[in-house]
Amino acid sequence: MNSLERSCVRPMSWFKREIADGVTIVRILNTKLPRFENFWPIPRGTSYNFYVVRGSEKVALIDGADFRFSKEFFEALESVVDVKEIDYVVTQHTEPDHSGTLADVMKRASGAVLLGTRQALSIGEALADFPMDRAREVEDGEELDLGGKTLRFVISPMVHWPDTMLTYLREDSILFTCDLFGSHGASEKLFYDEAPSEFELVDYYASILMPYHAMAARAVAKVRELGPKIIAPSHGALHRKLDELLEMYERWTSWKPDKKALIVVGSQYENTARAAEAAAEGLREGGLEVITVDSAEVDPDDLLAHTLESAAILIAVATHNGHPFLGITFFLDLLKEYRPKNKVAAVLGSFGWGGGGTRAVKKELEALSIPVIDELTFKGKPREEVLARARELGKRLAEEALRVIGPS
């Protein structure tokens, strides 16, 4: 292929693959939008998966896509099935990234029945124009026979909204999970184990599901009971190495941290940053892996993912107009919404003339029930004595973090 031909090739916007006899995944690749939910940066893009299950008697569609990808959605769907032939449209979760195309499907498939939980139908009527005269609520454990393909609905509220359910295809042992086990990444690789670096699994969990960790843990326990062979989410990679995946999710949903420390730096003129480096040395001497991020440039989903995995959090904060540096204020806002557990913290920071930044951060962390082992505040540049105290603070923080982690 010469360069002219290459330049004429449009980037792939969707692909389809049969994952079992009569079961097709379609993945729409979103490389157009820079952010997910118009907030979370997605440098590798993201994707929407939907599934067509064809039994000997009936055809079901599981989930849809964001309405901004309607053209790709219908082009792809029509390549798998004549839309008029669809008998059931299963909505597992009505957030518009999955429900945005379903009202249109229901119009074109004039004989189809829409299936979802009571909450899904209620939310979908308001948010996605679901036709309620052709909608039917499903019960937990209810089964739908498509003719040699049986769908069992497993209601799992609050993963991520109250409307959520999973769908288990019994004969093929495939579990459709919508947001649960989802990942970002507009990848053409089907399975996570084919190219883990092309998918953002932890960022997705941390930014989307972490506030619902208890309900996600319940859902994971149900998944263990069902024992599927393949997990098929509605974002990103499919999974077939399920022991690893479930163990990872069990760690995350129970807030079991790794031997890691997160240092979030909010520094204007490098004085606070230099003290943070000394604290990082102490943390490393204490046996922790250290991740240092600049609060002015780190992506918020990365910040949440590092928070999830770290046992120790050190906030290095300059005072700005009598308040914590702005990037740190944003981090504290994230912590207030996501309420991390099993952490221990320390605070350090420089001030020029008034101070107050470290004190305010300590107070906020304690209000979130995150114990703060100490606060180190200094005026201006960190001299040798301050750097030694910062190193010592890092060491003590590592000791406390190892206690939180417990025996391995």
The site for ligand FEO (CB under 6 A) is made up of 93, 95, 97-98, 160, 179, 235
* Pick 199 or 351: Cβ nearer ligand FEO: 199
Least Å from the CB of residue 77 to ligand FEO: 18
Least Å from the CB of residue 66 to ligand FEO: 9
Least Å from the CB of residue 408 to ligand FEO: 34
Least Å from the CB of residue 70 to ligand FEO: 17
- The alpha carbon of 225 is separated from its chain's Cα centroid by a whole number of angstroms, namely 23
Least Å from the CB of residue 85 to ligand FEO: 26
* Pick 98 or 320: Cβ nearer ligand FEO: 98
Q: Residue 88, SS3?
A: strand
* Pick 160 or 343: Cβ nearer ligand FEO: 160
Least Å from the CB of residue 385 to ligand FEO: 51
Q: Are 185 and 199 in contact (CB under 8 A)?
A: yes
Q: How far apart are CA 275 and CA 281, in angstroms?
A: 10
Closest CA to 401 of 311, 327, 275: 311
Q: Are strands 174-178 and 165-169 parallel, antiparallel or unpaired?
A: antiparallel
Least Å from the CB of residue 140 to ligand FEO: 20
Q: How far apart are CA 153 and CA 13, in angstroms?
A: 30
Q: Residue 81, SS3?
A: coil
* Pick 72 or 179: Cβ nearer ligand FEO: 179
Task: Select the residue whose beta carbon is closest to ligand FEO and give its number.
Answer: 95
* Pick 179 or 277: Cβ nearer ligand FEO: 179
* Pick 103 or 398: Cβ nearer ligand FEO: 103
Least Å from the CB of residue 127 to ligand FEO: 12
* Pick 93 or 213: Cβ nearer ligand FEO: 93
| Number of C-beta neighbours around residue 380 at 10 A | 12
Closest CA to 90 of 125, 47, 120, 127: 120
* Pick 55 or 182: Cβ nearer ligand FEO: 182
Closest CA to 154 of 145, 143, 146, 162: 143
Q: How far apart are CA 207 and CA 302, in angstroms?
A: 9
Q: How far apart are CA 135 and CA 342, in angstroms?
A: 43
Quote the tokens at residue 43.
Answer: 């440098």
Q: How far apart are CA 153 and CA 145, in angstroms?
A: 12
- Single-letter amino acid, residue 115: L
